[in-house]
Structure 1
């Protein structure tokens, strides 16, 4: 691994710190932006997590999934090769190696997508996009390894973000919602998380309000549809 690709962090990082690290990798590749996605397990679709516009949302983040092939999320969840697109003249990469796969993509920028696997088994991908992306094999391997570590550094430390019109949902609100989806009652959730029943109910009421849901069951349904929980 190249010396300028840092080793994995010992402790989970805040989203802003991870964004800063990804921005540094972006510069190393000569890319203009980065876009980190989680791959929803059930429907195999890309769910935005973090991008170069943090704490806002970069305009390209919600356009990229539509520009990529329909099969991309499934392929990124089952393969660990690096995907790339763009004219070779503007994407100076070792594209003849067997661990890089070219995609048909309608995006206006060249791009690299690194599939990611979390320690708990979740899947994701980090996309770097730009007019001209350059990288030698050793550097790309180092960036891929670092991106894996950064993906692991964002377990529940980061509020979930989907479409720009949805408000951020806190990690604790998501925990309560996930446990509700698993069939736990407010009493169960309070015991599991070490909260009072009143506090657990308040978290659920807050997330239902943020998602414009009629009740917690409706909130679970909307969160599943938006990819906030699985």
Structure 2
């Protein structure tokens, strides 16, 4: 463990805590059985001796301690850095290359989940078309050929896309993330970034710049110009 942790970054995105999967599963099962026992007693049911025997057999303070240490380590980690890739700093419109991800990713909320979101007072996903019950963009916007690039902010979905980056990530890490997702291709040329949607002017940022709240909105240009313009 010491050999592994000694090679982890020091910016707080990683932590090493020794624990085996069997301990974790035993911890979960034991607490689930305890919960079932409580529910049975509340309903006036008879005690299940097999449950008690299993709980007593797995009731190890060492196992519990290892699991709690692992959970504590996870909670103590720094929060992820939210990064917003955009195509311009006027409307903060999304990158054309991310349209495919934003409309066809399997991680997008399903119709049933969207109905639950609405029922609980939430808003529809920005690219969800309720009349067709699917995600989509009109052809021109999807291909980056919109004849009105400065259309109203409500139509261009400003800051639509967000990347969850590890603390200490750099501009180059964002570039590689976008490239691996298919949103960008080619080689890195330059990048500009700013911290908010006020009148703050974007500034050039080198590849090795560490991301923070002051440069979380970023525009990256590559040798494939059609994907970011």
TM-score, normalised relative to structure 2: 0.24
In our comparison, the structure showing a higher alpha carbon Rg is 2
Using the size of structure 1 for normalisation, the TM-score is: 0.24
